[in-house]
Chains A and B, each alone.
Chain A
Amino acid sequence: MRVSNEQVTPPANSPGASALSQADSAGAIPPAGAGRIAEEAVRLSDVSKAYRTGRTELLALDNVSLAVKDGEFVCIIGASGCGKSTLLNLVAGLDQPTSGQVDTSRRTVGLMFQEPALFPWLTASRNVELALRARGVPRAARRAQTEELLETVRLGGFGSKRPHELSGGMRQRVAMARALAQNADVLLMDEPFGALDAMTRDLLHDELERICTERTLTVLFVTHNVREAARLGDRVILLSSRPGRVIEEYALPRTGHRRIDSREVSEVAARLTDRLREEMGRHGH
């Protein structure tokens, strides 16, 4: 998505915060890679998306404004029908907004889904290699890079396995290696751990965090698991449902390693849950 290429200077007040923000202005949040000049990796300005089904028009996203800084980990949370996946599709450039602008300033965007979406006829290595090939990496360099990427997701030595021979968590890591192979600066993740068991998910949170820090990735992470959002996000954005609007933002400054079972995460999760239930209640009659 390259709607406009000019670099927008971060406003004093984040557009997302204009709604009902409890957070300080988003601009004040220290990005993960401290010390660097934080530029905006993704900016959505007044983005609306409507789908027409027959005679009715469904408004999936209503005037969503949102800015994500380089290296920032932003979780998007909301009940069903909040347009989370629509939002990711727009940022990935797989879909066009009805109005408003999506700007990723020429950054490469990788997308991960709830299902690994690996090609079942290729081995793990070949799946990763195909992403390199699609990018035009010469054959000679591909093998070494593939090996390195699999090593990054701790799957060195499993390259010759086919997707069906791997566990769900391993498949999802191959998918992550494939997304990294696209040389993405921005990783869009659509409930990537939603189908995994809690133990595996917990380990993958640690892994994802490590990889994001190593590679200073910007992540837009959609989930409906409040704990997961509280565990991972530098910032959590709450969307309302039908239509999706930003209703709340929580800045969660990083003070070291967060455990999913820590008091800190539990408290944030409880707050998010309350707010989500309130939002769901609006649709209860």
Chain B
Amino acid sequence: MVTDQALRGLDNLELRPAQGRPEPGRIARKALAAAWPKVLAIALVLLVWELVTLTGYRKYVLKGPGPVLSDLWQQMQHEALWATIGWTLRSAVTGYAIALIIGSVIGLLVARVPPLRAAVGSIITGLQTMPSVAWAPFAIILFGEDNSAILFVVILGAAPSIANGLINGVDYTPPLLLRAGQTMGLRGFALYRYLILPASLPAYVAGMKQGWAFAWRSLMAAELFIAIIGQVSIGQQLDVDQQNLDFAGASSVIIVILVIGIVVDTVFTKADLALRRRRGLLDPAAAT
């Protein structure tokens, strides 16, 4: 058939040529290309830091990158630092997981039930803008200086962002897709399972990413505020270093907080990128 042939030809012409196997060394080169701006940025920070130290500014407390990094290196040899990080990460994961469940359930309910949205919708946004440190004293009154108090602050920090992400996702489900789904006969639960939730996923992941940022901040604030006897957390370590005027120690802790925050954020960014790539929401030229 002539039409058939022509159609197949046109299809092949219109498709982007298949990408061949990446040539050897391409991955390494890509990694290098991605890495050098970051290395440069770190080098610049260290340089400025070193220069400030060299000026003698606050020379009795301020230490240069050399002593600080060697202090961090020293600490990394000891189990105490890892135990501290482990404890804090456990709180972070637990708090975030609970926030994820609570935020998702509330988000879905608010998105589905109009009266609930009228009642709770603006409260969620209000909670989101509230600095979570403000909850710490409240949490201590409620739970005492206990891990529950810390988790409470983390959950209140993260859950509103997660809920809001899901609500936005449901709200911005394209009406055309909804029409297509309805014509197909998707109703009730199936409509959510196969259309609205998958369509909401990018906004939901964005909410989870923001939720993590808030969770991590809230956790640091809470740990600085709430001292649990016999348990050293990153926040408490920072508090101890402050009392000892230990600049190198405090700087080490700051570096640890920063690195953990960045690493987890990178995971979310990667997930978001993969999601958008699958859906064709990335400019193919920019993606490579």
Q: A residues near B, CB below 8 A?
A: 92, 94, 109-111, 113, 115, 117-122, 130-131, 133-135, 154-155, 158, 162-167, 169-170, 178, 182, 199-200, 203, 206-207, 210
Q: Which residue on A lies nearest to B179, using beta carbons? A: A94
What is the distance, in angstroms, from B66's C-beta to the closest C-beta of chain A?
Answer: 50
Segment 234-253 of B: residues with Cβ below 8 Å from A: none
Query: Are A130 and B194 within 8 A (Cβ)?
Result: yes
Query: In the assembly, what is the distance between CA of A92 and CA of B184, in Å?
Result: 11
Main secondary structure of the interface of B (DSSP, over half): helix
Query: In the assembly, what is the distance between CA of A118 and CA of B176, in Å?
Result: 9
Query: Are A117 and B7 within 8 A (Cβ)?
Result: no
Q: Which B residues are CB-close (under 8 A) to A121?
A: 198-199, 201, 278-279
Q: Which B residues are CB-close (under 8 A) to A118?
A: 180
Query: Are B184 and A120 within 8 A (Cβ)?
Result: no
Q: Which A residues are CB-close (under 8 A) to B279?
A: 120-121, 162, 164
Given contacts A130-B194, A203-B10, are A113 and B180 in contact (CB under 8 A)? yes
Given contacts A154-B4, A182-B185, A203-B3, are A169 and B14 in contact (CB under 8 A)? yes
Q: Which residue on B lies nearest to A155, using beta carbons? A: B11
Given contacts A162-B278, A165-B16, A167-B14, are A207 and B183 in contact (CB under 8 A)? no
Q: B residues near A, CB below 8 A?
A: 3-4, 6-8, 10-11, 14-16, 176-177, 179-180, 182-186, 190, 194-195, 198-199, 201, 278-281
What is the distance, in angstroms, from B186's C-beta to the closest C-beta of chain A?
Answer: 5
Query: In the assembly, what is the distance between CA of A119 and CA of B184, in Å?
Result: 12
Query: In the assembly, what is the distance between CA of A110 and CA of B179, in Å?
Result: 11
Query: Are B182 and A94 within 8 A (Cβ)?
Result: yes
Query: Are B184 and A130 within 8 A (Cβ)?
Result: yes
B7, B14, B195, B280: which contacts A154 (Cβ < 8 A)? B7
Q: Which residue on A lies nearest to B279, using beta carbons? A: A120
Q: Which residue on B lies nearest to A113, using beta carbons? A: B176
Given contacts A115-B176, A121-B279, are A170 and B183 in contact (CB under 8 A)? no
Given contacts A154-B8, A167-B10, A167-B11, list 6 more A-B pairs with CB under 8 A.
Answer: A110-B183, A117-B177, A134-B184, A134-B186, A154-B4, A207-B7
Q: Which B residues are CB-close (under 8 A) to A94?
A: 179, 182-183
What is the distance, in angstroms, from B206's C-beta to the closest C-beta of chain A?
Answer: 15
Q: Which residue on A lies nearest to B180, using beta carbons? A: A117
Q: Which B residues are CB-close (under 8 A) to A134?
A: 184-186, 190, 194
Q: Which residue on B lies nearest to A92, using beta carbons? A: B183
- Kindly name the residue among B184, B186, B195 whose own CB sees the greatest number of chain A CB atoms within 10 A: B184
Q: Which A residues are CB-close (under 8 A) to B7?
A: 154, 203, 207
Q: Which B residues are CB-close (under 8 A) to A155?
A: 11
Query: In the assembly, what is the distance between CA of A109 and CA of B182, in Å?
Result: 12
B8, B11, B182, B280: which contacts A164 (Cβ < 8 A)? B280
Q: Which residue on B lies nearest to A109, using beta carbons? A: B183
What is the distance, in angstroms, from B12's C-beta to the closest C-beta of chain A?
Answer: 10
Query: Are B179 and A206 within 8 A (Cβ)?
Result: no
What is the distance, in angstroms, from A209's C-beta to the closest C-beta of chain B?
Answer: 10
Query: Are A119 and B195 within 8 A (Cβ)?
Result: yes
Q: Which residue on A lies nearest to B9, using beta carbons? A: A203
Query: Are A120 and B186 within 8 A (Cβ)?
Result: no
Q: Which A residues are CB-close (under 8 A) to B177?
A: 117, 119
Query: In the assembly, what is the distance between CA of A122 and CA of B177, in Å?
Result: 13
A113, A131, A133, A162: which contacts B280 (Cβ < 8 A)? A162
What is the distance, in angstroms, from A33's C-beta to the closest C-beta of chain B?
Answer: 21
List 6 tightest A-B contacts by C-beta distance, closest first: A164-B280, A167-B14, A117-B180, A120-B279, A111-B183, A206-B3
Q: Which residue on B lies nearest to A158, using beta carbons? A: B11
What is the distance, in angstroms, from B192's C-beta to the closest C-beta of chain A?
Answer: 13
Q: Which B residues are CB-close (under 8 A) to A210?
A: 3
Query: Are B15 and A166 within 8 A (Cβ)?
Result: yes
What is the distance, in angstroms, from A134's C-beta to the closest C-beta of chain B?
Answer: 4
Query: In the assembly, what is the distance between CA of A9 and CA of B215, in Å?
Result: 69
B4, B15, B183: which contacts A165 (Cβ < 8 A)? B15
Query: In the assembly, what is the distance between CA of A200 and CA of B14, in Å?
Result: 11
Q: Which B residues are CB-close (under 8 A) to A207?
A: 3, 7
